[in-house]
Amino acid sequence: MAIKKLTIEEFLALAKEFPVLDVRSPGEYNHAHIPGAYSLPLFTDEERKVVGTMYKQQSREAAIKIGLDYFGVKMKKMVEEAESITANHKLQTSNLKHETSNTVLVHCWRGGMRSAGVAWLLDLYGFKVYTLVGGYKAYRKWALAQFEKEYSFQIIGGFTGSGKTEVLQALPGAGHTIINLEALASHKGSAFGAIEGKPQPKQEMFENLLAHALAGTGYRIQDQESGIPQPTSCIWIEDESQRIGNLQIPMPLWYTMRRAPVFFLDIPFEERLAYITEEYGKLPAERLEAAILRIEKRLGGLEAKNALNHLREGQLNESFRILLRYYDKWYNKGLNNRENLASLLNKIPCTGVDTKTNVQNLLSCKTVSA
């Protein structure tokens, strides 16, 4: 079989059906990778370092020879791992259409010797192999380009405790497209966001996940004459600050979000307080205390002290009252720090934090686009 080289667009189209084998080192893969790709490293991190040093200090030929020393003893195991990956991929994706296919997509960092070596081995064994021109570097160029596009966003706004995330998550059931930034970032956006202990991805991996999510919304070329990409429909997204935990929304995408209409769920303070106390009040007190201490300087010494004292005395409602006022102040500042806010802001009166009712309230707003 002949090994076929693909552009990034062709590669990603086939990746919807067939497994992607990332043959970079474990360290490179763990830092960031194409979402859904499987790690099948040609070299360990240390072996990669040795080969790279040999390439720089001696020659390409010397690097290839030492690389072959590492590669030779791994050939059988790599073939068996590729067989296992393809079998599991078929089961996980219910890919019955290609039940007997042994097609794999292979890439390394720049589409060079590592992917060529593994592609040769798998092709020799009987796999149908595609490689990525430009490797992961080409993928990153594609990913960053997704943030430059002019998406048609509709922003769900509202103070902390408004249940914005729950409303967002309910919209696909009503036939609407969403991007869940907090899910991609593994963080809820406040000092309490990481309280459940789930680690955030690295910035580069977050960008990869976000680029894939954006590309999956149906974004395509509509104007064939100008070649200008246009969104096929509006995309709902939650109002966020640029930073979500330790991660940042890419600046071009952030600017697009700031120009989008905001649909503000206007819910009474006491209703939000009851909701937020119920949501976070079940968490261990020491984690709540640590979260308060993270914002101590911004909260102010006295307010932080009072919030901590209420927490320690079991007065959760009063502790969260202080915190909610703090977050309301900062959210309001961010909301108003928009150009042309008067033309973007649509306030939607809501009596309480009720997802079903507030979805109906949101979609009943006359300025909402389909």
Does the annotation count 108 as an active-site position? yes
Q: How many CB atoms lie within 10 A of CB 48?
A: 21
- Return the bridge partners of 359, or none: none
State which H helix or E strand residue 6 sits in.
strand 4-6
The rounded distance, in Å, linking the Cα atoms of 27 and 35 is: 16
Distances (CA, A) of 117 to 104, 106, 136, 223, 341: 14, 10, 16, 41, 56
Q: Which amino acid is at 363?
A: L
The rounded distance, in Å, linking the Cα atoms of 6 and 4 is: 6
Enumerate residues 6+ apart whose C-beta is below 8 A from 309: none
- Backbone CA torsion sign across 288, 291, 293, 299: negative
Burial 292-329 (b: 16+ CB within 10 A, else e): beebeeebeeebbebbbebbeeeebebbbbbbbebbee
Catalytic-role residue among 108, 234, 350, 365:
108
Question: What are 167's two structure tokens?
Answer: 């409303």
Q: How far apart are the first and last CA of the chain?
A: 48
Environment class of 250 (CB within 10 Å of its CB; exposed 0-12, middle 13-18, buried 19+): buried
Enumerate residues 6+ apart whose C-beta is below 8 A from 57: none
As annotated, the active-site residues are 108
